[in-house]
């Protein structure tokens, strides 16, 4: 990589620091799940540049609209790390976004967040507010109706929105070639009159430039952009599946040869912006940051399983009330039972 003349050195270093933090957070979270300290978790290792470089290209007033795997983008745009851990620990507090942070809550249903991103952009345009929405999705989401509806609506009304596809090659276990007959996701943009481009997901600088330019174009009334970043998740879809069942042996290791974090580290050292001493200090800082976030999450005590039924209905439908009653009757462990709120019938 040649030293970029259009990106400040401080931004390049910030990219690397955030990507390093995200990789260690991801690895630590997998270990937390294996130890039973958080629930099912979707690893993102391999996709750090996609989430960090893209979000750093936003302005503070812009919105991030994430999927369940985009907690890296959420943290870069201001969501505290401990909130992310609380979410995967099953705590309702983890769904709360700080009032001064322009990030939507995590979307687990596939592609439903894309109409949300288009809606945010539509609202900004109607209110004449200078805001752009960055909506994340995976390649599998391009098979959902919500993707096409959001793209069509955004194209017709020239909305200030950027659709960012992290094409990590697999929709859970379905390979990209079985997901679409088109060669790329980016070329789907032409059907909706939207600007489309494909960038290497292992090149943080290319991603930053693509999103920066798309945001600028959207803010100036140029309409939406679909960006497809070709990337790869080294680990499973979530900690509940085994990728050796659906991926060829050696495929993940082959992708590590163009690992985004390693490539950016090499470039920074070549530019004279990074060295071993800085790397050691960063590793210590990252360890302390993650330990602090875990301590905050675990200081809240055991999760109350009955919270599954809260915060959706003012009064539960009968079938959910029956499920709640059944769950309550099955919670026999004293440690859990003593943490539950007292029931009116008890």
Active site residues: 233, 237, 246
Q: Are 227 and 164 in contact (CB under 8 A)?
A: yes
Strands 161-167 and 225-230, sheet pairing: parallel
Cα separation of 299 and 301, whole Å? 5
Partners of 199 in the β-ladder = 229
Q: Are 149 and 115 in contact (CB under 8 A)?
A: yes
**In terms of Cα–Cα distance, which of 275, 235, 238, 259 is closest to 48?**
259
Helical segments of 220-258, H only: 251-256
Helix (H) or strand (E) holding 161: strand 161-167
Q: Are 137 and 67 in contact (CB under 8 A)?
A: yes
User: Which pair of structure tokens corresponds to residue 213?
Assistant: 């330019």
Cα separation of 300 and 294, whole Å? 10
End-to-end CA distance of the chain: 67
User: Which pair of structure tokens corresponds to residue 247?
Assistant: 């991926």
Cα separation of 166 and 201, whole Å? 8
Give, in order, the Cα–Cα distances in Å from 255 to each of 42, 243, 264.
19, 15, 15
Cα separation of 167 and 141, whole Å? 10
């Amino acid at each position: 990589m040649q030293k970029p003349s259009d990106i400040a050195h401080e931004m390049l270093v910030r990219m690397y620091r955030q990507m390093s933090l995200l990789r260690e957070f991801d690895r630590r979270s997998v270990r937390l799940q294996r130890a039973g300290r958080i629930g099912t978790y979707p690893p993102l290792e391999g996709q750090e540049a996609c989430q960090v470089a893209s979000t750093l290209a936003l302005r503070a007033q812009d919105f991030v609209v994430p999927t369940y795997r985009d907690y890296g983008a959420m943290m870069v745009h201001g969501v505290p790390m401990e909130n992310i851990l609380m979410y995967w620990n099953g705590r309702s507090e983890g769904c709360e976004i700080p009032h001064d942070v322009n990030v939507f809550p995590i979307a687990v249903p596939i592609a439903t967040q894309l109409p949300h991103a288009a809606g945010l952009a539509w609202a900004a345009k109607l209110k004449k507010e200078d805001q752009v929405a960055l909506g994340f999705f995976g390649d599998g989401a391009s098979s959902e109706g919500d993707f096409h509806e959001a793209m069509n609506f955004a194209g017709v009304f020239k909305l200030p929105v950027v659709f960012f596809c992290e094409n990590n090659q697999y929709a859970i276990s379905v390979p990209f070639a079985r997901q679409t007959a088109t060669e790329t996701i980016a070329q789907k943009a032409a059907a909706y009159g939207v600007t489309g481009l494909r960038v290497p997901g292992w090149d943080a600088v290319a991603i930053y430039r693509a999103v920066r330019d798309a945001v600028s174009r959207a803010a100036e009334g140029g309409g939406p952009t679909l960006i497809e970043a070709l990337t790869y998740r080294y680990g499973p879809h979530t900690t509940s599946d085994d990728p050796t069942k659906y991926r060829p042996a050696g495929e993940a290791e082959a992708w590590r040869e163009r690992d985004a974090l390693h490539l950016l580290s090499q470039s920074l050292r070549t530019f004279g912006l990074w060295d071993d001493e800085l790397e050691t200090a960063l590793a210590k800082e990252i360890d302390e940051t993650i330990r602090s976030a875990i301590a905050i999450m675990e200081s809240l005590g055991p999760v109350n399983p009955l919270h599954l039924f809260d915060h959706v209905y003012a009064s539960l439908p009968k079938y959910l009330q029956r499920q709640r009653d059944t769950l309550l009757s099955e919670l026999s462990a004293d440690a859990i039972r003593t943490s539950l709120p007292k029931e009116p019938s008890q």
